[in-house]
Amino acid sequence: MTTTIGRGAAATADYLDQRTSVSVAIKGLARKVFPDHWSFLLGEIALYSFVVLLISGVFLTMFYVPSMNEVHYEGPWAAMNGVEMSEAFASTLRLSFEVRGGLLMRQIHHWAALIFMASIVTHMMRVFFTGAFRKPRELNWVLGFTLLILGLLAGFSGYSLPDDVLSGNGLRIADGVVRSIPILGSYISYFIFGGEFPGQDLIPRLFTVHILLVPALILALIGAHLFLVFLHKHTQYPGSGRTNKNVVGYPLWPVYVAKAGGFFFIVFGVIALLGATMTINPVWNYGPFDPSPVSAGAQPDWYMLFLEGALRLMPGQGMEWGIGEFTLSLNVLIPAVIVPGILFTLLAGYPFVEAFVTGDKGEHHVLDRPRNRPFRTAFGMAILTAFTILILAGSNDLIAAHFFLSLNDIIRVFRVLFFVAPVLVFIITKRICLGLQRKDRELVLHGHETGRIVRFAHGEYIEVHKPLDAHERWLRVGYQAERPLEIEPPVDSRGVRRKGYRVDQVRQRLSRVFFEDRVEPVTPSELAAAHSHGAHDTLEAGHSAPVRELEGTATGGGRTLVEPVDGSAPDARNR
């Protein structure tokens, strides 16, 4: 029986539908098909972490005071009683010790920020290594990269709001980085801090950036990102029956709605568990910001460690040059601006470089297996290696203390590794990818090894191979191997220099770098030849008993394994 509430809800829904036609959009969205793979959840983790950030951030905003006015603390944390500090730091202590649930919400907010950045990075890695950035998703890659940069800005601005010693040292470093920019640096610093560092305006400005400007931009970009995902349809991993013209998966309603709802509470529960059990950023141990003390072991959150590591690795002596009235601080400019700028530019621009090199104009909705794109996979691993070295270098003092090593030796080793390790990782990764491709060819041509050795009646030994089924075979042969470009001659038939030849030359050289080393997938003719049973594979009647095929055809070295008709098993000692 329909209840009064049910009838009221139905009437309300009908009223809204007649005036908005929202049911048409909901019906279309509900039938949207999404593929099913665990790696697609990485983007959802980022989205749900951001929702947790918004919820916890609203709570914190109600009690935090974004002011640098000086006060004397009087509260439950006895060690700080009578200490002069900013209202921002005092309100942070009040949140931690006097507001019910305040410390839990602070820690949930901080852990959610760490997981938000981690999920963005891993999601971008999945997109990069599988080629999900190819046409028509180049714009979505740029949006994702911009979200990464905004996430860094949101994390740094929020990390600096408590106005404690640790965050103050980070702001001092940021001021030095900004001032290292030639000509404009001092003006930008004056604009950010409202005068000389630290000034009285920084915390209010950071607060506005952290709770208003950056979240609004992130929300807008997330909306655009999701809109493009729905517009282009979701990518899917390669397999039989999956093409650029279909999507194999489940509809949004009710399957993915239920999954997404449940997964949100899982993510929220994990973040809440981390916030409740693992202390993070205990500002009461650091004290209010004072530019004089700098303790060992001070470091920012993990996603900013690459910048800290670059600064620690850069030599300082002889790296400051005076040019007229300006001082060029290369010891800060190179590690904090140029090196990260190069790494991020390579990461952001790679999809467009690859599209330029291949000249591919088609749409791609089926993902690549990383092994089938050796250069891209090796390049991505090299970039990750460079960032990893910088992250480790940002903790060089902790590494030295925990492993009883010389800090100077660690710095020297990391300086060498920053230039050598990415090259070695590139070469090794590329070799691994090519080796895996050759293994795929071997599997397609000869099947899986079973470890069974069989002796024929005429005395020959052969290993039993299990052939691949159609799904396995398609996975290993169903891709297009890119080849170096072949360009037209520099002059046409009339001897006139061809327009665009120089650009074609650049593309050709780059394509050789990208695709010179490759392994072609098995062709149908190669597969037919490998599984043929011609004169070379036929057992001579004069040297063997009558034979029959084993249950299920099994290939071995291009042969069909056979046994004597009388059913006698091969010599068990030779298996």
Q: Which of 351, 368, 385 is the last residue of a domain?
A: 368
**Is 196 among the domain residues?**
yes
Q: Are residues 116 and 258 in the same domain?
A: yes
Q: Residue 324: its pLDDT value, please?
A: 72
User: Mind spelling out the 3-state secondary structure of 427-458?
Assistant: HHHHHHHHHHHHHHHHHHHHCEEEEEEEECCC
Of 63, 104, 79, nearest to 286 by C-alpha is: 79
- Dihedral (Cα; 106, 112, 114, 119), 10-degree rounding: 180
Q: Are residues 456 and 309 in the same domain?
A: no
Task: Decide if 465 contacts 452 (C-beta within 8 A).
Answer: no
Q: Are residues 257 and 338 in the same domain?
A: yes
Q: Residue 25: its pLDDT value, please?
A: 67
Q: Which of 329, 351, 368 is the last residue of a domain?
A: 368
Task: Decide if 75 contacts 91 (C-beta within 8 A).
Answer: no
Q: Are residues 287 and 167 in the same domain?
A: yes
CA distance 46 to 263: 12
Nearest 5°: the CA angle 31, 37, 39 is: 120
**Is 400 among the domain residues?**
no
**Is 556 among the domain residues?**
yes
Task: Decide if 87 contacts 68 (C-beta within 8 A).
Answer: yes
In 161-252, where does DSSP find H-type helix? 165-179, 185-193, 202-208, 214-232
Q: Residue 28: its pLDDT value, please?
A: 67
| Domain encompassing residue 537 | 435-489+497-574
Task: Give one DSSP letter per residue of 311-379, joined into a string.
Answer: HHHS--TT-EEEETTEEEEHHHHIIIIIHHHHHHHHHHHHHHHHHHHH---S---BPPPGGG-HHHHHH
Beta carbons within 10 angstroms of residue 223's beta carbon: 11
Report pTM. 0.85
Q: Residue 114: its pLDDT value, please?
A: 96
199: phi > 0 → left, psi -120 to 50 → alpha, else beta; which?
left
Q: Which of 313, 340, 368 is the last residue of a domain?
A: 368
Q: Residue 554: its pLDDT value, please?
A: 39
Q: Residue 72: its pLDDT value, please?
A: 92
Q: Which residues contact 26 (CB under 8 A, 6 or more apart)?
A: none
What is the total count of domains within the chain? 2
CA distances from 431 to 369, 374, 425, 500 (A): 15, 8, 10, 34
Q: Are residues 184 and 271 in the same domain?
A: yes
CA distance 361 to 409: 50
Q: Are residues 360 and 439 in the same domain?
A: no
**Is 392 among the domain residues?**
no
- Find the CATH number of the domain harbouring 59: 1.20.810.10
Q: Residue 131: its pLDDT value, please?
A: 92
Report the first-to-last Cα separation within the chain, whole angstroms: 71
**Is 383 among the domain residues?**
no
**Residue whose token pair is 């052969």:** 462
Q: Are residues 111 and 228 in the same domain?
A: yes
Positive or negative CA dihedral for 420, 122, 303, 404?
negative
Task: Decide if 86 contacts 71 (C-beta within 8 A).
Answer: yes
pLDDT, averaged in runs of 10, over the chain (575 residues):
72 75 69 83 93 95 93 89 92 93 95 96 95 92 95 92 89 88 87 82 92 95 91 85 83 81 93 95 88 75 91 83 78 90 92 88 90 94 95 92 93 96 97 94 87 84 84 86 80 74 84 88 83 46 38 39 40 37
Dig out the tokens for 40 from the structure.
Answer: 């697609």
Q: Which residues contact 425 (CB under 8 A, 6 or more apart)?
A: 378, 381, 382, 385
**Is 1 among the domain residues?**
no
Q: Are residues 58 and 179 in the same domain?
A: yes
CA distance 521 to 477: 5
- Dihedral (Cα; 404, 410, 411, 412), 10-degree rounding: 140
Q: Which amino acid, 458?
A: H
Dig out the tokens for 348 from the structure.
Answer: 């952001």
Q: Are residues 361 and 465 in the same domain?
A: no
Q: Residue 542: its pLDDT value, please?
A: 37
Q: Are residues 80 and 176 in the same domain?
A: yes
**Is 552 among the domain residues?**
yes
CA distance 548 to 457: 12
Q: Are residues 87 and 229 in the same domain?
A: yes
Q: Residue 375: its pLDDT value, please?
A: 94
CA distances from 339 to 130, 307, 329 (A): 26, 9, 14
DSSP state of 236: B
**Residue whose token pair is 């090794």:** 428
**Is 324 among the domain residues?**
yes
DSSP state of 258: H
Of 212, 191, 178, 201, nearest to 88 by C-alpha is: 201
CA distance 569 to 353: 60
Q: Residue 537: its pLDDT value, please?
A: 45
Dig out the tokens for 86 from the structure.
Answer: 């900013």
Q: Are residues 319 and 459 in the same domain?
A: no
